[in-house]
Structure 1
Amino acid sequence: MTRGPFMQLSKEFHQYRKLEQLVENKTSYQLEHAELHIFETHEVAEKISLKFDAPVLATMMQGKKIMQLNEGKSFNFLPSESLLLLPETPMLIDFPEASFQNPTRCLAMTISEEKIKEILQLINERFKSREENEWLMSRINFHFKHDYALQQVLQHILLIFTEDHPTKDLFLDFALKELLIRILQHEKKAQYEKGEQAIYSNNRVAFIMQYIQQHLDEPLDIKTLSQKVYMSESHFHRVFKNEVGISPIEYLIEKRISKARNLLQNPEIPIKEVYLACGFNNISYFNRQFKRKNHCSPKTFRNQFL
């Protein structure tokens, strides 16, 4: 599969940044409530250590890193992915593909604790319903992939920092609110999908996410799902989207397509059996949804594994 799209840097960045070293060259920007650092590596390197003394959002812009956190298992870090890291988290980084023509680029942004607390208080006071738990920042390192909306927010923040504009702090204030809400939604979604009994037995959104994953091959719609958690259709739709960031039906399609990708890797399973096992009742609708999520047809996807 192709990697996510590269994030674009402003003309001002390329005009004024100084290339002083080939491994983890750092260009920094500072605004009132946040700092942003762009790291560039122009040659293959191994076991580069890095650590921040504050919570940091690290986002891959271009290229590939192999990351190891807290002496744990290594993993690939690719464009359209981010890491939310706790302070003092030790990182060991390899750059297997970096070159002068195609550097590896990553941004690292820190946000003041006061600003984070202010935004969380706003969210909990104005948007949290009785069904939702209080929104809190992560107490663990969190690796996640972007959806389209989060990718656009991060692109906007990157341009705010790197362009020359007199109202940058005001623009950033608005963008940080959206950024934190979308990250919290990604984290809640990941927590609920783990299926921990203590979570989904006491939370209706977590329960229904587990129900969806366990019944992907069955006919499911908003009416059926809302009845399972004793909520009206409109209220269920609003609460689910507030917590997870996407609608219940979009989440259902996402999980069905994910299951289809796994099944398509086995060439012995006919495509008709694949889409029926994933809850799709006709091939044309399955093809449309698969292409929308993967930018290729099910047949093209399967051919990668033949």
Structure 2
Amino acid sequence: MQLSNAYFNNRRLETLVENQTTYTLNNAAMHVFETHQQAEQIMLQFDQPVLASMLSGKKIMHLRDHESFNFLPGESLILPSKEIMCIDFPEAKASNPTRCLAMAISEDKIKQMLQVMNETMPKLDGKEWALMDYNFHFTNDIGLYQILQRLLFLFTENHPSKDLFVDNMLSELIVRILQSNERKIYTEKTLEINNSSRLGYIVSFIRENIYQPLSIETLSKKAHMSESHFYRVFKNELGISPVEFINNERIKLAVSLLQDPKRTIKEVFMECGFESRSYFNRVFKRKKNVSPGEYQANVVREKRY
């Protein structure tokens, strides 16, 4: 993500460690932190729930009840209000500063969006949408990336209607984060929830039968729903279509199988449930930015060294 020229033209660099530039609107405050020298055990805390997203450089995060982890560009972290962060900056320097966006969102705005989602996007299992798992660390998908880039521009723009613009973007941001969190729950905890959740059962069925043809018709029958209703509920809860979810799972399996240099590309795409090599190649390249053959060759080359 890129900071705007307006940000660099107007910000003041008053300290080399966690220099803070803040923009405050009705339902959110955007803080941009810059660190230009190595530092350790810097403490940070916010009074509202926060989406932190790395822009450049590297942090090591230490959170309550969590193992320490690297926080890198393209990743985000959801934090509750009053959460104390302890942060190290092992690589920060003047020529390569660490920059991080922290978006503090009002709890009233989050509650408002939860109410809208529960009224218009009811969950399959009848449970209500609720606050996401806090300390949820994830990689931004393209939708979140574009929203955050837009917010970086809007907060620094001198426009009389920017409060309205930002408020609309915050609504979409909250929905997408909750859907991302739901995907994480269903993909990481499927075995724990599939007995009590129809959608959990479907996710489990997909993963156990990934090598077979999987259609919306088949999955909707398994869920005892019409095709249109199943498609709508699945996408509302997980933020992606059933076909996108299936392809994501198949590509994860393909990445694992391609670690073996003895496997042919044909064996891999057939074991992953793709019907043709051309479709497999197209989906794989879209997800990984290289072809399956290039990916396998890179793996072999790395293992040699």
So what's the TM-score if we normalise by structure 1? 0.92
What's the counterpart of residue 78 of structure 1? 72
Bigger mean CA offset, 142-151 vs 242-251: 142-151
Note if contact 1:58-1:107 (Cα within 8 Å) is conserved in structure 2: yes
* Pairing partner for 1:245 from 236, 239, 242: 239
* Pairing partner for 2:38 from 37, 44, 53: 44
What's the counterpart of residue 122 of structure 1? 116
Give, as a single letter, the amino acid of the residue that structure 1 aligns with 2:293.
K
* Pairing partner for 1:212 from 194, 201, 206: 206
**Cα offset, 1:269, TM superposition:** 2.9
Structure 2: how far apart are the matches of 1:130 and 1:214? 21
What's the counterpart of residue 279 of structure 2? 285
**Cα offset, 1:34, TM superposition:** 0.9
**Cα offset, 1:230, TM superposition:** 1.1
Structure 2: how far apart are the matches of 1:271 and 1:77? 34
Give, as a single letter, the amino acid of the residue that structure 2 aligns with 1:66.
I
1:96 aligns with 2:96: no
SS at match of 1:305: helix
1:107 aligns with 2:101: yes
| Aligned residues: CA RMSD | 1.8
1:276 aligns with 2:270: yes
Give the 3 Å change call, closer, same or farther, for CA 251–305 of structure 1 in structure 2.
same
1:19 aligns with 2:13: yes
**Cα offset, 1:139, TM superposition:** 4.6
Note if contact 2:190-2:200 (Cα within 8 Å) is conserved in structure 1: no
Give, as a single letter, the amino acid of the residue that structure 2 aligns with 1:253.
N
**Cα offset, 1:27, TM superposition:** 0.6
Deviation >6 Å, runs of 4+: none
What's the counterpart of residue 193 of structure 2? 199
* Pairing partner for 1:173 from 149, 167, 181: 167
Give the 3 Å change call, closer, same or farther, for CA 94–265 of structure 1 in structure 2.
farther
What's the counterpart of residue 62 of structure 1? 56
1:148-159 matches, within 5 Å, as: 148-159=142-153
Structure 1: how far apart are the matches of 2:187 and 2:124? 21
Give the 3 Å change call, closer, same or farther, for CA 211–130 of structure 1 in structure 2.
closer
**Cα offset, 1:132, TM superposition:** 4.7
What's the counterpart of residue 303 of structure 2? none
1:239-290 C-alpha deviation (Å, 9 max, x unpaired): 1001111100010001111111122223233332222221123222111110
So what's the TM-score if we normalise by structure 2? 0.92
1:82-127 C-alpha deviation (Å, 9 max, x unpaired): 1111223232223233232222211111111122112211221233
What's the counterpart of residue 264 of structure 1? 258
What's the counterpart of residue 184 of structure 2? 190
**Cα offset, 1:35, TM superposition:** 0.8
What's the counterpart of residue 4 of structure 1? none
Structure 2: how far apart are the matches of 1:176 and 1:183? 10
What stretches of structure 1 of length at least 5 have no aligned partner?
Answer: 1-6
Give, as a single letter, the amino acid of the residue that structure 2 aligns with 1:210.
S
Note if contact 1:132-1:243 (Cα within 8 Å) is conserved in structure 2: no
Structure 2: how far apart are the matches of 1:177 and 1:90? 26
Note if contact 1:44-1:98 (Cα within 8 Å) is conserved in structure 2: yes
1:305 aligns with 2:290: no
Bigger mean CA offset, 239-248 vs 79-88: 79-88
Bigger mean CA offset, 50-59 vs 26-35: 50-59
1:31 aligns with 2:25: yes
Note if contact 2:45-2:84 (Cα within 8 Å) is conserved in structure 1: yes
Give the 3 Å change call, closer, same or farther, for CA 270–44 of structure 1 in structure 2.
farther
Structure 1: how far apart are the matches of 2:187 and 2:55? 27
Structure 1: how far apart are the matches of 2:139 and 2:295? 20
Percent of aligned positions that are identical: 52
